[in-house]
Chains A and B, each alone.
Chain A
Amino acid sequence: MATTHPNSDKYYIPHGSPWPILGSVALFAIMAGAISYLNDWTGAWSFLPGPLLLAAMFFGWFSTVIGESQHGTYNQEVDRSFRMGMMWFIFSEVMFFAAFFGALFYARRLAVPWLGGEGVKVLNKLYLWKSYNPGWPTNGPAHVGGLSNGTFSVIPPFGLPAVNTLILLTSSLTVTIAHHGLRSGNRVLLKTFLALTFLLGFSFVSLQIHEYGEAYRELGLRLSTGIYGSTFFMLTGFHGLHVTIGATMLVVIWLRTMRGHFTPNHHFAFEAVAWYWHFVDVVWLGLFTFVYWL
């Protein structure tokens, strides 16, 4: 169907678009690159083409969508489709994290106690892991990974992690203030607080990187440090990745506000990013509680 008239009551069905197929190729390139690197077929450069293609795809695709949106091509119904789509996407992300949280809980509540011979699993202690005293944190009965003597320490919750918690909570607040600015037509408020938000986001990421460095160098806490290291780095790592993505999206949104995009009652992209940001924040609260603290 050809373009409908601005704000018409017709649902906008775009013409054919080259971006999805490019996106598929990009995804394939990412996967193929990772595979051939992991299988030692090629060097680290093979990680490059895929993400570049993907970036090109996102740029092209979103430019198209932004252009259409700026031309008033989308009516309320299309807007609603986008919103629903974003919500279900975030739900799928929640479930992805749920898998890793599930692994964490399973390991802490079941696997580790069982290895230590708790309850009906006393045979494990009698026959296999005679000298293992279960507890958390642990790198398992064989003391996998860690420092040269098999030990490791954990990052205390009320140091950097608490600061990071504050940072993320504040950033959730700033993005909300920015949203208020947008809705009330206060563009200065919008721009300032949006900028603050992604700055907070990036400072979170750099603190996290700093913390990782310390864990690797000094604490003996690494990805390979038994089940604690595995769950710790996979959970916080995927979260950090999401913060990075979220902060990047915030930058894009901010650049768009600088160009005068978004109106007080038509700003799906802004809201989508804000939801995403809140989601990342909530995941962090879970992480702080169950990974660092309890």
Chain B
Amino acid sequence: MANTDNATTHAALTGHEEHDAHGEHAGHDEHADHGKPHGFWHRWLTSTNHKDIGTMYLVFSCIMFFIGGAHAMLIRAELFHPGLQFFDPGTFNTLTTYHGLIMIFGAIMPAFVGLANWMVPMMVGAPDMALPRMNNYSFWILPFAFALLIGSEFVPGGGGGTGWTIYPPLSVEQGYALPMMIFAIHMMGASSIMGAINVIVTIMNMRAPGMSLLRMPLFVWTWLITAFLLIAVMPVLAGAVTMLLTDHFFGTSFFNAAGGGDPVMFQHIFWFFGHPEVYIMILPAFGIISEIIPTFSRKPLFGYDAMIYATASIAFLSFIVWAHHMFTVGLPLASELFFMLSTMLIAIPTGVKVFNWVATMYRGSISYEPPMLWAVAFVFLFSIGGFSGLMLALAPADFQYQDTYFVVAHFHYVLLTGAAFGIMGGVYYWLPKWTGHMYNMTLAKWHFWMSAIWANVLFFPQHFLGLAGMPRRVPDYATQFTDWNVVSSIGGFAFGLSQILFVILLWQCARGGERATGRVWEGARGLEWELPSPAPYHSWTEAPSMATLERGAPMHQTHG
């Protein structure tokens, strides 16, 4: 194997400087022209290394998950009992708004970009991302963007209280917070676009010889398609919020009926972005699950080609279903019909994915290490979220569900137990590769079981609340909703506390532990497992040999 550099990445997850410096001197070998740069600031602020940048993305996302989660805890505390206990209604709306924005743009999306940074070059046999400096740029925009966003919660007059969907005219009424939110969104958009360009170019241009498109692991495929979605829709969001800005400050009439505009037009533009956005948050998770399940079933992924087609169809359909978020705004009958039917179609390719995962497990040889536990939970719970999605897609039924906790339950099943669980699975899958250490299996299993159980206690009752008529985005509710809210809040607090286990585990694993082998998991196949653990600072400085490629190629190829 070409790559012999063993410089450790102890410090990778913690950014711990001492370790870094030691590793540097100890692990440096002469002919490998690539040591880690000296010095904390130099290494992290100016980094052009895909792993360091990936680490920063992941750490950032983890922090945002906690900040977004803290907002959620406050929401659940207020909703624990009827009556207002802690917050005035305006503050509550702010909490909801920022919880949604922070989780989506701060926690989930950066986590996926972080995983792509770490894994895509390793998986396609490249030394690094294609545009390393821009990679750094796309990361470092984020902390600044979130400084603006979170800062806007504390300006006089309070943060924006519009929900993450920032519908006008309500949003145009917001005070000082409005331009801060809008410009923060612009910055996040710029970051996402650059990140996506980098991923696409890396995949299209940096594959090792022999790594044909149809040999790429599914995580790479799903990210390729996701990146395309990102580049297509983030600019549209930027356009939409720009129109809000000019409506507020410069007297344009985009969303003002008196001037010939239409508030509903914002919703069309927003959801043209917003719906693909939700698939942006799930497709990479699909990719991760498609890596994990074959590994722990010791069997190649069932229906590799079908998986790719399914992903592409979901991406395509995602552009023509946006108005299912708008069934109650008074669309003409023909549009309602069109958007209802096109939305329902998405169940088919998504079903293909679920069936393929199940078929991969069927007649496999399954073991239940932590990544597999998350993956299995994902398949169950994402499907439940998908089922409620399908119910929402039926326009007349949506008249009853729209803007109730039924919707909240739906999207937390697909986002928390879907996207976030997928990320968790990915972290548990690749963590030993990153740190070079195995993690504490007992702790990992505790974290999983606590999360899986409490997430259901947290969100399953919200289906009932919604069906019984509790609207979303309210700080207070009629007394008949109390019981399920109590259950949900208890689930929420317990789920939140369980996440502390995760941090402890990460911390321990970054600092030490049993040494991980290169392959880590018995059934793992793929180029990333052909590198030592921890992976060398620069992944494939020389392209993997044909033999390595054959050995590491996804199993669907070797066993075709």
Contact = CB atoms under 8 A, between A and B. Distances in A.
Interface stretch (B185-193, B286-294, B365-373, B464-472): B185-193
A102 B233 CA distance: 13
A226 B253 contact: yes
A262 interface: no
B238 A96 contact: yes
A155 interface: no
Most chain B C-beta atoms within 10 Å of own C-beta, residue among A23, A85, A97, A119: A85
Interface string A128-165: 10000000001111101100000000000000000000
Contacts of A231: 254
Nearest to A100: B239
A144 B235 contact: no
B233 A227 contact: no
B128 A35 contact: no
A139 B235 contact: no
Given A17-B46, A81-B130, A227-B261, A31 B183 contact: yes
A21 B186 contact: no
Interface in B347-387: none
Interface stretch (B99-107, B136-144, B414-422, B476-484): B136-144
B39 to A, nearest CB: 10
Contact of B197 (A17, A88, A96): A88
A10 interface: yes
A209 interface: no
B253 A230 contact: yes
A146 B97 CA distance: 36
A102 B268 CA distance: 9
B132 interface: yes
Contacts of B254: 103, 107, 227, 230-231
Contact of B252 (A84, A88, A120, A234): A234
Given A16-B37, A223-B251, A85 B144 contact: no
A89 B246 CA distance: 24
B249 A38 contact: yes
A114 interface: yes
Contacts of B268: 102, 106
A61 B144 contact: no
Given A82-B131, A84-B204, A99-B238, 15 more contacts: A11-B127, A14-B133, A24-B140, A24-B143, A28-B147, A28-B187, A88-B197, A95-B231, A98-B239, A107-B261, A111-B257, A111-B261, A115-B262, A144-B258, A230-B252
Interface of B: 33-34, 37, 42-43, 45-49, 126-128, 130-134, 136-137, 140-141, 143-144, 147-148, 176, 179-180, 183-184, 186-187, 190, 193, 196-198, 200-201, 204-206, 231-236, 238-240, 242-243, 246-247, 249-254, 256-262, 265, 268-269, 272, 332-333, 538, 541
Nearest 9 pairs between A and B by C-beta? Answer: A99-B239, A140-B260, A224-B251, A16-B46, A227-B260, A142-B258, A20-B137, A144-B259, A230-B252
